Amino acid sequence: MSESGDKQCLGKVGIPSAPKDFCMTSSPTTTPTESSATPGRSLAQVPSAGFLKGFGLNGLGSGDLVFLGILAVAAIWIWARDLAWLAAAEETLPVVAALPLFVWLGAPWRFREGSWSLPGRPLVAVGLVAIAGLALDITLLLALAWTYALWLWLKVRVVANASLLRRLAILPLLAFPWIALDLTPVGWGFRLSAAWVADHLYSAVGFSVVREGTILQVSSIPIEVAAPCSGMNSLQAILLGGLVLTWMEFGRNRSYWWMVASLPLMAWIANTMRVCSVIATAVGLGPDAARGSLHQIGGWVVVLIVCFVWSWMLKRVWR
């Protein structure tokens, strides 16, 4: 893979700091035309590459399209099993955006020519995990099975640095609503811990605070850290955004997986600070202000600030 080819891919994706070893250009599946024979020009720039050219996916054969079609049907079925995740935009948008982001970050893709097949034992493992997900009604297991099946195909078909491809391949896991559907106990933990932090924080600065579970009374103002304050609605969006930023900034860094593992901690900090900011609004401007649009807007502003500060801290620590 030439350095000039890397630069072309990075220019197409528009991510100057993306890992150049992962840059993937298309592989010809038809007889090269005069324009495609131009030195240093990828098929992603050739008009004859067809519809998939716009997605950086030219080079796919009929077998690839059949397999991806099966994955598409399976994904739709997983999404349609429980439509509760469609109730809030914070849960819906990350699910819808994850796969397009995955394709965009990896484009243009380069596929191996010739026939191909998937290994049998890993496919059996995919089936067993999917059956367990159905039997236990756990969306996360179904998402893991789907993502692993996609990874098996990528590993066989895509010409790329295997380590970098594996790092990006976890992004499709967030294309399924397992956080909203499976992690209710985690939401309770987020609520209880946020109330505990708020209790100690406001007590430390001189406010009178009484807490019982997730219910607080701060300066005689009753405040409940209810289910919508659990952070589950925004957790998938935070994790998806954090994963994309981590890939763009640290995709080639050896500490990439440690940074990915730190994203849930970042999400917890962001949600806890959001709860504390809502309490500050209730104490400073009154309970009505805390229930209004200021609650939603102010909460997201705090989340974004925490995410950017977290990103800045990672850059300072690892660079």
Indicate the range of 36-40, 64-68, 139-143 predicted with least confidence.
36-40
- Strands of the sheet with 221-224, listed across from one edge: 209-212, 215-218, 221-224
Residue 308 has pLDDT above 60, yes or no: yes
Mark whether 275 and 213 lie in a shared domain: yes
State which of 133, 162, 181 marks the end of a domain.
181
Asked if residue 100 lies in contact with residue 18, where contact means CB atoms within 8 angstroms, the answer is no
Domains of the chain: total: 2
The token duo for 218 is 């701060």
Mark whether 15 and 164 lie in a shared domain: yes
Mark whether 60 and 192 lie in a shared domain: no
**Confidence grade of residue 142 (pLDDT, cut at 50, 70, 90):** very high
Mark whether 260 and 176 lie in a shared domain: no
Overall pTM > 0.75: no
Matching residue, tokens 């502003």: 301
State which of 125, 147, 181 marks the end of a domain.
181
Mark whether 173 and 199 lie in a shared domain: no
Asked if residue 116 lies in contact with residue 156, where contact means CB atoms within 8 angstroms, the answer is yes
Mark whether 256 and 169 lie in a shared domain: no
pLDDT tens for residues 9-29?
A: 333 333 434 444 433 333 444
Which domain range does residue 110 map to?
A: 3-181
pLDDT tens for residues 81-113?
A: 988 878 766 668 888 889 999 988 887 788 888
For strand 209-212 and strand 215-218, is the pairing parallel, antiparallel, or unpaired? antiparallel
State which of 181, 203, 234 marks the end of a domain.
181
Torsion over CA: 235, 238, 240, 242 (sign): negative
Mark whether 84 and 231 lie in a shared domain: no
Distance CA 49, CA 51 (A): 7
Residue 315 vs residue 20, higher pLDDT:
315
Q: What are residue 11's DSSP bridge partners?
A: none
Mark whether 32 and 173 lie in a shared domain: yes
User: According to the per-residue pLDDT averaged within each range, which of 75-79, 165-169, 292-296 is highest?
Assistant: 75-79
Mark whether 172 and 38 lie in a shared domain: yes
Mark whether 28 and 133 lie in a shared domain: yes
Mark whether 54 and 156 lie in a shared domain: yes
Mark whether 19 and 35 lie in a shared domain: yes
